[in-house]
Structure 1
Amino acid sequence: MTQNSYKIPIQGMTCIGCEAHVTEALEQAGAKDVSADSQRGEAIFELSDDQIKKAKKNISAAGYQPGEEESQTSENSVDFNRDGDYDLLIIGSGGAAFSAAIKASENDAKVAMVERGTVGGTCVNIGCVPSKTMLRAGDINGLAQNHPFNGLQTGAGAVNLAGLTEQKDELVGQMRQEKYIDLIDEYGFDLIRGQASFVDEKTIQVNGEHITAQSFLIATGADPAVPDIPGLSEIDFLTSTTALELKDVPKRLAVIGSGYIAAELGQMFHNLGTEVTLMQRSEHLFKTYEPEISDAINDALTEKGLNLITGVTYQKVEQNDDTKSVTIEVNGEKRVITADQVLVATGRKPNTESLNLETAGVKTGEKGEVLTNEFLQTTNVRIYAAGDVTLGPQFVYVAAYEGGVIADNALGVAKRKIDLRFVPGVTFTNPSIATVGLTEQQAKVKGYDVKTSILPLDAVPRALVNHETTGVYKLVVDAQTRKLIGAHIVSENAGDVIYTATLAVKFGLTIEDLTDSFAPYLTMAEGLKLAALTFGRDVSKLSCCAG
């Protein structure tokens, strides 16, 4: 039965929980790809014509008032089985690209993917996969040398970084083959090798050949950005890519920047035996995060032996034989940081320069990022963009989600808006940082009457038995509804805990929902319940399992 796209205005939705109720009501009527938005007072979904009355009846039964439905077919939507060499042509081959290609192929679209370099994009080749396996190696080596348990006699010999790098490369090659390359034949889309550039709004050129398509996806990712510091371009510095290719552990590492890449790689090298100095311009680590989160990770990294310098003004970078130096100014005083290697970790720059986007009528922002609307269309409605090239949340799971949305929109299968309100973020330091939803300040700006709970990690039994108590849990709650709207954590396994918090924020769970649920004792997830309990009592006065 044919599914059509509808938008219905709905009165009475005031929060995330309301959105969940409306979504459930529509899904019970058979609706697919439901997106309910309380701020806009509307729901968009796919449903057959003969079920629209049932859908509106279900909305009313849930306690909300539906208006007149509106078909989402518009002059900007594209009919399927169209003219051109391909229905969807994708530039890039990372998470967004493969997600879109797979979904479009499953809808019998004719799909091509253009890649100028290595198939698989950033995550599997030079990002998530290689960095996290090396971080794990660093954690093991660091614990062998320094742990909190009396009576254990452990130690570690010299690190064979070349061996670790070789093992990392084998893992990357295996995952690239199984999770990317093998899927090209599995789903039957074309892979075109070469550099793509637009000739006009519906044509690209690759290796001198013109290729046309009715819709395009730009998913070319981003590369490490290099700041304009005198002398930096004249030395042999490391980036997040080349740092993972080293064969020898440097004795001293100076890191320019201290975001998630700097913190993760800086701690990794520290655990492998390097003296590491992190330098940043701002006064606080992770300055856009909750201040309690920033303070906790600052304390944790300092306790573990990393050197942190904040409030830095960079003067120059120099190299003398094998020694490099970074001249900085801090509080009006000049300092020189010497090192064997300098790692630049100051953000990422979108890969758009070679695409000739102006010819296709695609506008970019100040940093070269592709500008998109809520449907992920660029300023040319037949061209879409997803992933790091848009400078949205820099997570492969966001890119993959966006690729699926674009496959539906570009082929006219649906008309879906992106919804990035509930995206969790994780930084894989030790302890790790995880966050979802609104910060306290963001919630206040949005007009919420806010209550917060701050639970130090030494109040969490799991942290006590681990003898690792530097960290914090912070919950942000709507005081009127008592619903959780933000969760922010510094702890071991914070990335695993945050998924529970993500579900709680997305589906509008209250403080009481958390405190009335069972939390396994001696897990970090128990910290969420204990943090919720602190809204009404002093958890330090409770027995171990009384929560």
Structure 2
Amino acid sequence: MVKIRNMFTPKSNKIGEGQKSLSEVVLEIEGMTCDHCATGIEKKVGHLVGTASQKVNYPEGKGIFSYDPEKVSKKEIIDTINGMGNYSVKKELPASSNGQGTEEEVTFSISGMTCDHCATSIEKRFEGHEGLISKSVSYADEKGTFIFNPDKISRQEIIETINKEGNYKVQKEIGGNGNLERADPGQHDLIIIGGGSAAFSAATTANELGLTVLMVNAGLDIGGTCVNVGCVPSKHLIRAAEQVHRAQHSPFNGVSGANPTFDFKATIQQKKELVAALQKKKYLGVVGDLDNITILEGWARFVDAHTIEVDGKPYKGMKYLLATGATTNVPDLPGLEDVGYLTNETLFDLEEQPEHLIVLGAGYIALEIAQAYHRFGTKVTMLHRSERILRTQAADITDDLTSHFTEEGIEVHTNVSIQKFEKNGDAIVAHTNEGTFEASHVLVATGTRPNTSGLAIENAGVNLNKTGHILVNTKQETNVGHIYAAGDCTDTPAFVYTAAKEGKVAVLNAFQSTGDMVDYTGLPWVVFTDPQIAGAGLDEKEAEEAGIPYETSVMPLTEVPRAQAALDTRGFIKLIRNSETDKLIGGRIIAPEGGELAMQVSLAIKAGMTIQELADAFHPYLTLSEGVKLAAITFNKDVSELSCCAS
């Protein structure tokens, strides 16, 4: 069951000064589903005269109650809980003890040893450590047993001594009953800061390894950007907008366009229902029955390299994964804060359709939203400071998409310098070097920045780059040995699927020292405009920068039978090959549903296929995928002179 904690601590119902002694009872309680249930029980029992304190723990399913037996009985406390309806006391548990012995024994599973000398080396590290009574490390058993005085040396200090140098790492504490337990009482094996794709992938991987996980989430709801304010809502609205557009524009004789009935508010409401359903099914539902995973809502900040604080309460972890994601990078423009603006985090919940939307930016988020809302009937003006849209891509791609946008009626202004914003009644006015633009709403889509500024990350000693991204190596390790990072808060490709892979790799390296790395070779990606832009591998500029001799072929969709039959020949397919080896090294596509071709290109690159092998492969006729085959043939032949299905 997912455990969602709040940090509310109820006040004790204090008894009078005359109270001589208190009794304590520990009860196992069934029926709680969240921390709110625990709080409700505490408040109800707290109303009984004679109760001194009550602490109910939802994740552990128990409550500890201190009371004056002369004023209230144990039975009255139990009857009060049972009388609340959904809760029942299953049994009384043994009372907790606050005493602590002078001698404790702990056994750790230790990785990284390659011989008996390694075991001896670990033992020698503890020479002169006050409080360590004995140590016995076994290379063959991959474990070490330590007897110590907890008043003089802690479990954590033993762990840090083992981990501090070389390849040795404490993986788990081995309990006396053979089960794996936490390395310190109250310490989690893994603390994850974040609640998106990287975080959930890491959490489920850790659960498979039997690890205890605390996931601390704040800002966006559980699920992060993708399900809440990114991939899912945007693609839903894009498809709805396409439906409106296609109903109005038919290329076929005998099929006339019509104005469909369109309810913007109903479309947004359906989007909200979809987001809620997927959040429940794909995130909360995934970890719903995993007792090892606890979800805590609140802002985390580092106290030191091993401790975080959430709402004033400290938490310790053996290992950490930072997966805090990214958010809109709002530019510092005069008047912008005063007039108010939207981002993708707020726009998709707006139930009143904007009349005129100024879009700041021309990256993939700006482009997808601009076209979708234009097709809904909103007037859209794009203002961008660079010389062309989607400037990370080659000019042939971006010029083609720009022409399709302007043909639809979307205003695209590049090389724009914004001087200030101001209000004119209900309207927002943007003053620029190209004149003034007036609209009802402004959308800021000018890129993202990592969510690292509020972590007090300097207290942990983790290094950031100039843009605030967490620096990691190919194994997702930071410069601090037990702290890892994954997803958009790092300077790796910012996709939900790469974030998930990075989260998994981080956990495997942290707890199993697998040496796994994320291979971005042939990484596929899609921009969901219409026509879509998609790619995998290198483009011409990247090949040149890598010193790879290359050649390109371009197959216009006017020569692809599927596009001809659909009467939609917008775009082209471009392949890039190593001119010395004939191997495919990259591809770029602009085409209706062009994203469906990205994986074919990606797999061909990963498999090391040559252009000749791609050209020789069977492709089903009258599919868009045949365009990739034709683009491969184009390196050596003019396909316009070939018959259908020719090789």
TM-score with structure 2 length normalisation?
Answer: 0.71
Q: Is the 8 A contact 2:194 2:324 kept in 1?
A: yes
Q: Which runs of 4+ in 1 moved over 4 A?
A: none
- Report whether the alignment pairs 1:137 with 2:270: no
- Between the aligned residues of both structures, percent identity stands at 42
Q: Is the 8 A contact 2:549 2:579 kept in 1?
A: yes
Number of aligned residue pairs? 477
- Report whether the alignment pairs 1:78 with 2:169: yes
Q: Is the 8 A contact 1:87 1:411 kept in 2?
A: no
Question: Structure 1 residue 77: deviation in Å?
Answer: 5.6
Q: Is the 8 A contact 2:562 2:622 kept in 1?
A: yes
Measured against aligned partners, the alpha-carbon deviations of 1:223-265 in whole angstroms (never above 9, x if no partner) come to: 1111122111111211112111121222221111011001000
Equivalent in the alignment of 1:379: 479
Task: Tell which deviates more after alignment, 417-426 or 212-221.
Answer: 417-426
- Report whether the alignment pairs 1:235 with 2:339: yes
CA distance in 1, matches of 2:167, 2:450: 27
CA distance in 1, matches of 2:416, 2:301: 40
Partner secondary structure for residue 505 of structure 1: helix
Could you say which structure has the greater relative contact order, defined with CA pairs below 8 angstroms and 6 or more residues apart? 1
CA distance in 2, matches of 1:165, 1:274: 15
Task: Tell which deviates more after alignment, 498-507 or 278-287.
Answer: 278-287
CA distance in 2, matches of 1:237, 1:116: 22
CA distance in 2, matches of 1:476, 1:146: 34
Q: In structure 2, which of residues 241, 246, 253 is the aligned counterpart of residue 150 of structure 1?
A: 253
Question: Structure 1 residue 444: deviation in Å?
Answer: 1.6
CA distance in 2, matches of 1:5, 1:212: 24
Unaligned runs of 5+ in 1: 7-48, 50-72
Q: Is the 8 A contact 1:76 1:381 kept in 2?
A: no
Question: Structure 1 residue 76: deviation in Å?
Answer: 5.4
Question: Structure 1 residue 467: deviation in Å?
Answer: 2.0
Q: Is the 8 A contact 2:331 2:446 kept in 1?
A: yes
Written as runs of structure 1 = structure 2, the 5 A alignment for 1:400-479 is: 400-479=500-579
Equivalent in the alignment of 1:538: 638
CA distance in 2, matches of 1:357, 1:468: 52
Equivalent in the alignment of 2:264: 161
Q: Is the 8 A contact 2:199 2:215 kept in 1?
A: yes
Equivalent in the alignment of 2:230: 127
Partner secondary structure for residue 477 of structure 1: strand
Equivalent in the alignment of 1:27: none
Q: Is the 8 A contact 2:570 2:592 kept in 1?
A: no
Q: 1:268 to 1:77 in 2, by over 3 A?
A: farther
- Tell me the amino acid that sits aligned with residue 236 of structure 1: G
Equivalent in the alignment of 1:301: 405
CA distance in 2, matches of 1:209, 1:251: 47
Equivalent in the alignment of 2:211: 109
Question: Structure 1 residue 291: deviation in Å?
Answer: 2.2
Task: Tell which deviates more after alignment, 383-392 or 252-261.
Answer: 383-392
- Report whether the alignment pairs 1:216 with 2:307: no
Equivalent in the alignment of 2:58: none
Written as runs of structure 1 = structure 2, the 5 A alignment for 1:35-46 is: none
Q: 1:77 to 1:271 in 2, by over 3 A?
A: farther
Equivalent in the alignment of 2:14: none
Measured against aligned partners, the alpha-carbon deviations of 1:507-535 in whole angstroms (never above 9, x if no partner) come to: 11011111111111221111111110100
Q: In structure 2, which of residues 270, 281, 287 is the aligned counterpart of residue 178 of structure 1?
A: 281
- Report whether the alignment pairs 1:87 with 2:189: yes
CA distance in 2, matches of 1:381, 1:249: 50
Written as runs of structure 1 = structure 2, the 5 A alignment for 1:355-394 is: 355-394=455-494
CA distance in 1, matches of 2:618, 2:532: 24
Equivalent in the alignment of 1:37: none
Question: Structure 1 residue 447: deviation in Å?
Answer: 1.5
Unaligned runs of 5+ in 2: 1-108, 114-139, 141-163, 174-182
- Tell me the amino acid that sits aligned with residue 105 of structure 1: N
- Report whether the alignment pairs 1:484 with 2:584: yes
Question: Structure 1 residue 75: deviation in Å?
Answer: 2.5
TM-score with structure 1 length normalisation?
Answer: 0.84
CA RMSD of aligned residues (A): 2.0
- Tell me the amino acid that sits aligned with residue 249 of structure 2: N
Measured against aligned partners, the alpha-carbon deviations of 1:60-79 in whole angstroms (never above 9, x if no partner) come to: xxxxxxxxxxxxx9825632
CA distance in 2, matches of 1:432, 1:102: 33
Question: Structure 1 residue 361: deviation in Å?
Answer: 0.3
Q: Is the 8 A contact 2:248 2:260 kept in 1?
A: no
